[in-house]
Structure 1
Amino acid sequence: MKTLHVYVVMATAILSVRTQVTKGAEKTKECICELNNSGLTFPTRRLQNVMSGATDCTQKITTQQMSEVDILMDKLHHRLRQLEQDVVDLEQEDDGSSQQGDLYMAVSLRIIEIELAEILDLVSKLNTTTAGHQGLSKDISIKLKNMNTEMESLEKFDHTQIVQKQKQNQVLMKALTKCQADMLVTVAPPVIPVPGNCFRGNLLNVTGPSTYTVTEYGTSYAFGAWGRDPKPAKGKEDWYWLVALTSSNIYANYIRWYSSHSAIVVGVKAEDVLISSSNPTTNTVQGPNVAMYENALYYSCYNSPTLCRFNMTARTITTTALTDAGHNNKFPFCHLGACYAYTDVDVSTDESGLWVVYATPENFGNVVLSKVEVNGTASLGRTWRTSLHKRTVSNTFVACGVLYATRYLDKYNEEIFYSLDTVSGLERYDVGLRIKKMTDNIQSLNYSPCDQKLYAYSDSYVLTYQVVFG
């Protein structure tokens, strides 16, 4: 028997090929391959265990499980909205003076009771589901960590370093992708300076409402205004003022004080301050856009292009002429559906003081903004003439030296779409911040630098919105 040996070394294994010749009655030849593995045997069972664990993780985390919380949250949100509407409906139902009214209220209360029970059930299910998902997440996290450790251990059997090369290729591909993306990036735009040099930063959002209640007048008077005095008289730092147009939704002759926010919510007034004995007359408030500053009410005077200042302590009135300003519905706030009557003049307060908004024929009916200088009496200071037509605006307010204008979008939303920076003179028509409405119209907006809130009077309801700077 003759044997021919050929040796091929493969990593840690030796492949031996030999030809064997057998003598006998008939000579035969055959090739025999012998593989002698001098390395470690690959642990196939450990790899199978990892693959089995990965399959188990995939089966435990399903799309349905991931969407359970979202479904419950949607149901809860729907129920809360329905409960809110039912409570509003209950408040507007019969006052209970009749048996029928008592029946309506009893039925409504029962409906609210059922909805509360459903909300509590949804909250319980949400808590249970969330707890289950947290436990599952913890269990899966441990299993993934163990599988990762096992796979790293199995890599030592990769004698040809294929896995290592693949990892290096992945790092290179990520670096290449990032390099290509960096080449496509355009130069960053210059940083926009804070408008009005406001120390609070830019106006980022308006959230809320956080207050939504009808006044003690009920729904009798749709037009009015309310807010806080940025520089109040001593002892009235936490007081709130309210002016409702109690005559034809056009005129008012007194201011109502409330000693706290809760007092105005429950309708407990502190005092009424009379401006004039009759309504309307020379010193009557005309239109809803009024403001309180340094213990004095500023408003559009009856039937004249004049700014009135009513001293709350001395009960005296001084006036400031708004030369050529439109009045008596010449340049009111409007939207496509209608105009807000007698809103030719709007008074606003901010961190720097008092402002007045109006329009003139000389400026083609566009908005004019004037700073009101207050030194015992009121006089007009610096004036800005804008390109914003006043009849395209539904409301204005000033915050941190910037004039903002809103417009009517629909019965659910108002939009802050315009701004004028009084420092740079820059006008923008792309502000694009929405205000969520609870009723169809907002008759007045007052910004308070005391708490950075907007005080809105909306179809007899008083609301507050939080202004977010940053």
Structure 2
Amino acid sequence: MESSVLSVQTATFFLTLFSQCVSGKDCVCELNILQEPFPMENLDSILTEASLCNRSITLTQLMEVDILMLGVQRRLDQLEKSVSVLENEDDGDLYGAVTLRIIELELAEILELAAKLKKTFSLHKNLSESMATKLQNMTDCMQELEAFDLLHEVNKQRENQRIKRELSECQHELQATSLPPTPRPRRCPQGQLVNVTSAKTYSLTQYGTSYVYGAWGKDPKPAPGKEDMYWLVALTSANAYANFVRHYSSLSTLTAGIRPVDATIASSNPTTNTIIGPNVVQYGDALYYGCYNTPSVCRFNISTLSVTNTPLPQNSGFNNKFPFGHLEVIYKYTDLDFATDESGVWVVYTAPDNFGNVILSEIIEGSPPSLGRTWRTSLHKRTATNTFMVCGVLYATRFLDKQMEEIFYSFDTETSEERYDLRIHIKKMQTNIQSLNYSPRDRMLYAYSDAYIISYDAVFQ
């Protein structure tokens, strides 16, 4: 009989191999691993705890304090107005008691909101402390479990995740600073536009229903770090003029009306170079719009806060000479309509020598901008309510009724083919759509409709 013992020690575990062989019989081997079994129950406990943590904190909770703060701010503004009315009243105390009662009710609402805000702060603080404790416990347990990772798989996975994250960030930066998603497409790679979905976003802005005319959307060619930003322009003077563009870090901050960043074009409104009309677009960190009281394209550089412009051809319509509209309503100061697509920025306008029919021109980026190629169509501008561009194709909409708008017309800049038979319907949430624009980054239509901001998915063949 022969026997032998072999001991092997690796990084963190030790095994003993004992073999015994009896002459004329099979050998018997016994393997002893001097390592504790992996505590799977501890890992299961951590996974359960992590799942509970994920379910215990919701997006609504994260926004709750911001919404309450906004409510308090608005109530205080209203209280200030009510106090001002009381101070200016001179009616022999006829209505003074009524106004005081209104102020008393407003104060009660403010106190109720403040109490709710205080309670919410306290709950969030307790939740934050509880989550911090649980996270620390889970971290400690995971560090203990790493002792069983003999081949360092966890470290390798973490390193792989880090490399993937850095590659993703690098790719994101390249996309942010690159040219539009598809360079100079003459035909849509995603196919022909065939439908528009029901509304994805439907909300009032922080202005409420005060300003009916405006525009909003996302920059198709954003500056680095601004890829998720939304822009908003509300015509805050006579529903015709604006002198600043407002930016929000996300859709939720836009709909809640919190933490906007304003870029001011001019100190007064209206004046030279301020915005006239709602058909505004942002592209390449610059705002393109119709210049105040002149048939010109204005370009406002958001980073440098500077304005440059280029004139449209002589006799081009402006100041309500050729606006959009329908039988019941004329959309004021919509003589110029700006659009973005995969290839850049466009302007839609008209002139008497084209009999009021739509003229389409490319806008070449620069400071100042300039006009590129131009096409003349047979579409009479005053029969349409809006236009937008997709892949070098001009689309026009018209008013069907209070519930429905129709994309009825297209003009292909590559072939000069015109169609009047599209019949693509857009279900409206409000009666009128004052501005409509397409964003190639997310393939969505952004509408400003009777003070509401609305978005739709564009569906391609």
TM-score of Structure 1 vs Structure 2, range by shorter chain: 0.5 to 0.7
What are the superposed Cα offsets for residues 15-54 of structure 1, whole Å, 9 maximum, x if unpaired? xxxxxxxxxxxxxxxxxxxxxxxxxxxxxxxxxxxxxxxx
Q: Which residue of 2 aligns with 1:404?
A: 395
Checking the alignment, whether the CA contact within 8 Å between 2:190 and 2:460 is kept in structure 1 is yes
Q: Is 1:320–2:316 an aligned residue pair? A: no
Letter in 2 for 1:404: Y
CA distance in 2, matches of 1:397, 1:220: 26
Letter in 1 for 2:459: V
SS in 1 for 2:365: strand
Deviation at 1:269, TM superposition (A): 3.2
Out of 366, 386, 390, the residue aligned to residue 357 of structure 2 is 366
Q: Is 1:250–2:240 an aligned residue pair? A: yes
CA distance in 2, matches of 1:389, 1:344: 12
What are the superposed Cα offsets for residues 203-226 of structure 1, whole Å, 9 maximum, x if unpaired? 010002010000000100000000
Deviation at 1:286, TM superposition (A): 0.1
Q: Which residue of 2 aligns with 1:438?
A: 429
- Report which of the two structures shows the higher radius of gyration computed on alpha carbons: 1
Q: How does 1:276-295 map to 2 (within 5 A)?
A: 276-295=266-285
Q: Which residue of 2 aligns with 1:394?
A: 385
Q: Which residue of 1 aligns with 2:324?
A: 333
Identity within the alignment, %: 60
Q: Is 1:224–2:204 an aligned residue pair? A: no
What are the superposed Cα offsets for residues 248-293 of structure 1, whole Å, 9 maximum, x if unpaired? 0000000100001111111113311110000110111000001001
Out of 437, 451, 454, the residue aligned to residue 460 of structure 1 is 451
SS in 2 for 1:234: coil
Q: Which residue of 2 aligns with 1:307?
A: 297
Gaps of 5+ in 2: 1-70, 80-101, 110-184
Deviation at 1:396, TM superposition (A): 0.4
CA distance in 2, matches of 1:311, 1:341: 25
What are the superposed Cα offsets for residues 323-356 of structure 1, whole Å, 9 maximum, x if unpaired? 1210000000010112101000001000011100
Checking the alignment, whether the CA contact within 8 Å between 1:229 and 1:294 is kept in structure 2 is yes
SS in 1 for 2:409: strand
Checking the alignment, whether the CA contact within 8 Å between 1:196 and 1:424 is kept in structure 2 is no
Q: Does the C-alpha gap of structure 1 residues 383 and 242 become closer, same or farther in structure 2, counting only changes over 3 Å? A: same
Checking the alignment, whether the CA contact within 8 Å between 1:455 and 1:464 is kept in structure 2 is yes
Deviation at 1:369, TM superposition (A): 0.4
Letter in 1 for 2:390: A
Letter in 1 for 2:376: R
Checking the alignment, whether the CA contact within 8 Å between 2:308 and 2:367 is kept in structure 1 is no
SS in 2 for 1:355: strand
Structure 1 ranges of 4+ moved more than 2 A: 95-103
CA distance in 2, matches of 1:331, 1:310: 24
Q: Which residue of 1 aligns with 2:373?
A: 382
Report how many residues are paired. Answer: 287
CA distance in 2, matches of 1:415, 1:337: 16
SS in 2 for 1:377: coil
Out of 218, 221, 228, the residue aligned to residue 238 of structure 1 is 228
Deviation at 1:467, TM superposition (A): 0.2
Deviation at 1:377, TM superposition (A): 3.1
Q: Calculate the TM-score normalised by the size of structure 1.
A: 0.59
CA distance in 1, matches of 2:186, 2:406: 21
CA distance in 2, matches of 1:467, 1:376: 32
Q: What RMSD over aligned residues (CA atoms) do the two structures have, in Å?
A: 2.1
Checking the alignment, whether the CA contact within 8 Å between 1:416 and 1:432 is kept in structure 2 is yes
Checking the alignment, whether the CA contact within 8 Å between 2:339 and 2:389 is kept in structure 1 is yes
Out of 182, 188, 197, the residue aligned to residue 198 of structure 1 is 188
Letter in 2 for 1:275: I
Checking the alignment, whether the CA contact within 8 Å between 1:256 and 1:269 is kept in structure 2 is no
Letter in 2 for 1:444: S
Q: Which residue of 2 aligns with 1:269?
A: 259
Checking the alignment, whether the CA contact within 8 Å between 1:446 and 1:454 is kept in structure 2 is yes
Q: How does 1:81-160 map to 2 (within 5 A)?
A: none
Deviation at 1:196, TM superposition (A): 3.7
Out of 321, 338, 355, the residue aligned to residue 347 of structure 1 is 338
CA distance in 2, matches of 1:335, 1:100: 44
Out of 413, 416, 425, the residue aligned to residue 425 of structure 1 is 416
Checking the alignment, whether the CA contact within 8 Å between 2:357 and 2:380 is kept in structure 1 is yes
